Every structure is written in C-alpha cells, then in structure tokens.
A and B are shown apart, each in its own frame.
Chain A
C-alpha cells in the first residue's frame, strides 16, 4: 500500500542549529512527495514538493531531495529560527491515482532562542 513514516518528535533545537526530519515512504505507484507545515492554530501549508526522482524541493531555507533508491524525502534546514516552530508533515500522492494525500504522523519542532 501507500504510507509515509516520519521521524517521531518532538524535536527541540536551539536557534541557528541544523535541522533534519527523516521521512521514508512506501508507494504502489509513482509518487509525488510533499512537506507540509502547520503553525499553531492554523491549517496546513505546502512547504515544498518534488515530483520525480532526484528532484530537490526548496522553500524558505528548507530543502528535501526525492531519493528513489532509499525511498526517502528527508527535510533539512541549515539554520533554524524561532519562527520555524511548527508541526511538519511528510506526505505522498500517487500521480496517476486519486489525489488523496497520505500523511506521516507529523513531527513537532520547537526552536528555542
């Protein structure tokens, strides 16, 4: 089936630290991969995406590379800020299928000054 496994949280980092949130997936078809972010009290926002192998998605200093050989899409940021505190969700959809996203469980990130 289709599923996403992401790193358990919560994660607490100091400002300017390096961030990695691991995400691996299982897919029956050809997936597109996404990272969504949920700030406190808000809905989910698309952070970045990649639609084919070796694509790198990037936005707001965050990056993730679609690795087909390791079925992974790890999220990284070189220097986190307090404003990055949020819950991060890895997700996939099957491009030729119905467009329902399969989400990971979410990883809560707290950045302290």
Chain B
C-alpha cells in the first residue's frame, strides 16, 4: 500500500457521459498529480496541484478538469467521454512541488468507455 488512495478502481461507462475520479494523497503530502496511461500514448502528465492551487498543466483536454480540496484530496472530472478516453488514470502525491520531490503513485482507476 503506497498510501495514495484512488477510487473507484474500475469504472465502465458510455460515450458522452461524465465521471469523477477521486484521489487521497499520502499523509503529509501537499502536492497531487494526475497521469493518464493508455496503450497508444503511454504515460502522460495531465495536471498538478499544490496545497489547493493549480501548479502545472500538461496534456489535459478541455473536457477534463480537476481540483484539490482544502483537505488535500483531489478529483479529476472527465466529461463528454469518448472511446479514446479509455485508460488507466493514476494519481500521485509528493511533499513539495519541485522536481526534487519523489512521487508516490496510487494503484490507478481503470476507465472503460463503451
């Protein structure tokens, strides 16, 4: 157990729908990251939050949004889902926000869009 908790583990939904993925960071970590792992794109950085503020943005689609709440948990919202959004979505956390900090990953949420 890495200490980073992601729910749900698996999610199956239809095209056009909206889903929310949740992440609780490791105790003491202030920074949360979201990554997408798909067969064709590999591991892609989506977005980073630090203590409630957006810190960095990667290849995140406009249909996707995220936030980090005062209790430091984070949610990734995916809307108008397409078949190509089927992927494993990982959350990671770290103490700080700079590149010197090591990331701890959760077990992932597997999204299947039918």
Contact = CB atoms under 8 A, between A and B. Distances in A.
Given A43-B2, A99-B33, A51 B100 contact: yes
Given A43-B105, A99-B31, A32 B99 contact: yes
Interface in A92-113: 93-106
A99 B108 CA distance: 19
B64 interface: no
Interface string B9-33: 0000000000000000000000101
Given A43-B105, A45-B2, A95-B99, A101 B45 contact: yes
B114 interface: no
Contacts of B80: none
Contacts of A44: 90, 92, 105
Contact of B94 (A31, A95, A97, A99): A99
A103 B55 contact: no
Nearest to A32: B99
Interface residues of A, number: 27
A69 interface: no
Interface string A42-71: 111110010100000000000000000000
Contacts of B33: 99-100
A25 interface: no
Nearest to B4: A43
B111 interface: no
A31 B98 CA distance: 11
A98 B55 contact: yes
A100 B103 CA distance: 9
Interface of A: 29, 31-32, 34, 36, 42-46, 49, 51, 89, 93-106
Interface of B: 2, 4, 31, 33, 35, 42-43, 45, 48, 55-56, 58, 90, 92, 94, 96-108
